[in-house]
Structures are given as C-alpha cells and as structure tokens.
Amino acid sequence: MELYPLKVLLMVANEKSFSRAAEKLLRTQPAVSLAIQKLESDLEERLIDRSGKDLLLTDAGRIVYDYARRFENLESELQNSLAELRDHSAGRLSIGANESTALYLLDPIEQYRRLYPKIKVQVRRTLSSKIPAQLIDGELELGVISYDPEDDRLASIVLYTDHLSFVVSPKHRFAGREEVSISELGMETFVAHNVLSPYRAVVVREFQRHKVPLNMDVEMPTIETIRKMLSPKTGTMVNEIGTMLPDDWAQTNPDYVFKPIRPSYWNLSAATYAYVFVGLARQGIDAAGESSIPGGPGLWPSISLLDWETAQPNARYWALKLIIDHFRPGDKMVESSSDSGYVMTQAYVSATGERKILLVNKREREFDISLPEADGATLEVVDLATGSNPPASSRLTGSSFKLGGFGVAAVTLGKSRD
C-alpha cells in the first residue's frame, strides 16, 4: 500500500470536502477522488460516506484515519531521525504539556538547547489526560504530566517533586504542631473536592496504605466553594481567560498558512471575556485575568490584545479597559431585573452609591434595550461598530437604546435617590 492515498484521506476527512482537500494538496479534484477510490479498492472497504451534504468517515474510514495519522507521525519521526544523522543532532523535539506543567520545562529546555542547539524544541499545549495516548500514537516525543500513566509502553522519570499541603485553621489543635502523624488524622473531618484527580487519588491511597480512615464528610464540587467555606477572607483569581481559533493549533503543521482573522472575531472574543467575567463574579471569584498582550503568527495570534503589526489595541483590549474603568473592587453586585437569553445584564452599586450596569450582547446582531431610568445616563460601548477603536460614549435620551453586535456596554445611572 502506498502512503500517498492515506495522506489524501487525512486531508479529505479534515476538510470534509474533495475540492478543499485538492486545493491544500495542490492537486485536481479528480486526482483526489481517484486516490480515495484506489484506497477503498485496495482495502475492499468503503471509507467515506458521500450520501449527505458533508463527507463523513464510515466506521472503517475512522479506523483507517487513525492509522493514517500514525503513519504520518512515523514519517515525520523518520525525517527527524535522518536529519539528525545528516546534520549532527538536528531536527525537532515535540513535547506535550498543559499550562501548569509547562512551567517546569523552562530550565530543562534551556539545558537541552545548550547541548543540542540545532534541534528545534516545540512545546504543544494539550490536556494532561491525552498526553499518554499522544505519546503512544507518535504525535509527541515527550510529555509532562503530574501522575503515573501506569502504561508499560511508556518510560518515565521524575522531573520535579510536588508537595501536598495539610491546611488547618489557626485555631485548630494541630495549628502549632510542626509534624502530625497520619494516624492522628483518622479522627479529623476533611472537606474534600469531589472531582476525581491524581492528587485526590494520592491522598486516598496513602490513607488506605496506612489503614487510617479518611473521613470526607463534606465534599464540594469546586475548590472555590471549599475556599469560601474554610477561608472566606482569602481571595481567588482565575487567570488566562480568552478564546482561541482552531487555526492557532494548526501552526505546527508543515503546510500551515496563516489566515487573516476576521475583525468581528475580536468583538466576539471581547464579549466572551465580559460574559465570563460576570459569571465568575456571580460565583464569588475575586479577580479574572485576561490573556494575553503578546500574540501573533507563531505565537497564538487569536489571543492577542494588540494588533501585532501596528501594536494598537483591538476590541478585546478596549472591552477589558471599559470593565476595569467602570467596575472596581468593592462594588456591590445587585439583582438585575433582566437577563435575557441574548443579552446578559448585571447591575452594580459602587462604594460611593453610584449605580452602573454591565451589558453583554452574545449575538452578532443589534438589540433594542429598554431601561426605565436610562434617560440622562451615560453609555460607553465596544461593539462591531467601534471595532478596534476606543469605546463610543454618549448621553442617553429616553428609556431605550440599541446595543450593537457582540456589544460590551457600561451604563452609568448616577447615585441612588434612596
């Protein structure tokens, strides 16, 4: 069997179109169709269902697709190995890591680059749970995870040893102790996170190994609820909030070509952050950080707050600034009378009594907003009309106004008359 038809199948399946696959492969559409027909004939299986509007893989097609991906990875591995032989340790090293484990790679990568300066190191952001399978399939050469994959096909070394902390109130009987035996913990009640994780498994396993009861009488669905229950004065921050286009992940492909990003995307992303900001605030999260100032082709272009060519702010930046300028620490969230399916509304009262409303339009089209006390209020908005310009500001007349597509708006009503 030739490998070329497998490459054609991969492209057709990814593009869901013979014509688009032909464009990517720089072939004619009949040539692509013939390659698929030959592959189906060789395997004596129908691989693509052509009966619907979109091309879909059959059950046999999905199996062949998975193996085709492995062949493609093996081919890349072969080319890297030959490049190393020709160029004395040159090639590419692909490493899989998530946001937190990637931090522990900085020093090892620096040391590795000193030893092998001609090798290109590529760290791919991926889910920790998927890394073992990607290593086995040949998509990655190395992976960094925080648990034992328990797979004989993989070899592992300890890169960093993490520690779990035993936390108690300053008033607890163990607070003054430097050391506590695990047997003493058998009489304590623990507030646990009820989501399965490697860290929870480690704790459960240690108590079982020492034959000590683990009394998890209270279990919470989120770390935040545990924090609020045990340490209400401790703040919580969610960082690196943003959106990312699928093309960003394709930058590692050899045939990747950067596609200009539609201007409306930046407004959609801005509205998404504002929506998440309100949702986190309603859950009691104290701070919500947005990602990211640097960005551009080769560096996650769709998460940027600035235009990488002009260094000018885009809509994501202006919506973030609008929120920071109008909604500050100490503002009190109050119940809003309206929160429709298309426009999120959240009212606030500042420490000085000033009333403000944050509105987020979740759709690309314009909506009429009715606000009984809007007459004389100040409106600042970032939407499709403002694009990458600063927020538009106006004084409202009457009790209604229009909120543009993907609009993020701050309405200042003034101080309460009560």
Per residue in 362-380, pLDDT (tens digit) is 999 999 998 888 889 999 9
Q: Is residue 88 scored above 60 in pLDDT?
A: no
Q: Which residue has the tokens 């190393």?
A: 84
Quote the pLDDT of residue 418.
54
**Per the CATH hierarchy, to which homologous superfamily does domain 90-162 belong?**
Periplasmic binding protein-like II (3.40.190.10)
Which residues, in sequence order, are CB contacts of 249 under 8 Å at separation 6+?
none
The alpha carbon of residue 372 and the mean position of all alpha carbons in its chain are separated, in whole angstroms, by 38
- Please state the rounded mean pLDDT for residues 295-304: 80
pLDDT exceeds 90 at position 129: no
Tokens 């092998």 locate to: 116
Assigned CATH topology for domain 238-415: Immunoglobulin-like (2.60.40)
**Beta strand residue intervals within 144-210, DSSP E:** 189-193
**Mean pLDDT to the nearest integer, 320-328:** 94
Average pLDDT over residues 162-187: 87
Where do the CATH 2.60.40.1180 domains begin and end in the chain? Answer: 238-415
- Structure confidence at residue 340 as a pLDDT band (50, 70, 90): low
Based on its alpha-carbon atoms, the radius of gyration of the chain, rounded to whole angstroms, reads: 27
- pLDDT for residue 285 is more than 60: yes
CA dihedral for 196, 197, 198, 200, sign (positive or negative): negative
- Res 332: pLDDT: 92
78 vs 96 pLDDT, higher one: 96
Domain 1-87 indexed as CATH 1.10.260.40 = no
Structure tokens at 103: 């931090």
- The pLDDT value recorded for residue 206 is 92
Average pLDDT over the chain reads 85
Is the pLDDT assigned to residue 213 strictly greater than 80? yes
Angle between helices 29-43 and 4-15 (to 10 degrees): 110
Asked if pLDDT for residue 389 goes beyond 80, the answer is: yes
Residue in the structure block whose two tokens are 């190395």: 142
* Residue 338: predicted pLDDT: 60
pLDDT value, residue 169: 80
Say if residues 71 and 8 touch (Cβ distance below 8 Å): no
| Burial degree of 19 (CB within 10 A; 0-12, 13-18, 19+) | exposed
| pTM metric for this prediction | 0.54
CA 179 to chain centre: 39
> What whole-number distance in Å separates Cα of residue 156 and Cα of residue 232?
40
In the chain, list all ranges with CATH 3.40.190.10: 90-162
In 3D, which of 393, 408, 410, 381 has the Cα closest to residue 268?
A: 408
Is a pLDDT exceeding 80 seen at residue 197?
Answer: no
Q: Above pLDDT 70, what percent of the chain?
A: 94
Beta bridge partners of 286: none
Q: Given this model, what pLDDT does residue 166 score?
A: 82
Distance of alpha carbon 267 from alpha carbon 406, whole angstroms: 6
> CATH 1.10.10.10 in the chain, residues?
1-87
- Residue 275 has, within 13 A of its CA and on its CB side, a CA count of 20
3-state helix, strand, coil in the chain (%, to 5): 35, 20, 40
Residue-level pLDDT at 337: 61
Q: What pLDDT, on the 0 to 100 scale, is given for residue 416?
A: 64
Confidence of residue 252 (pLDDT cuts 50, 70, 90): low
Least confident of 79-83, 108-112, 121-125, 354-358: 79-83
**The pLDDT value given to residue 339:** 53
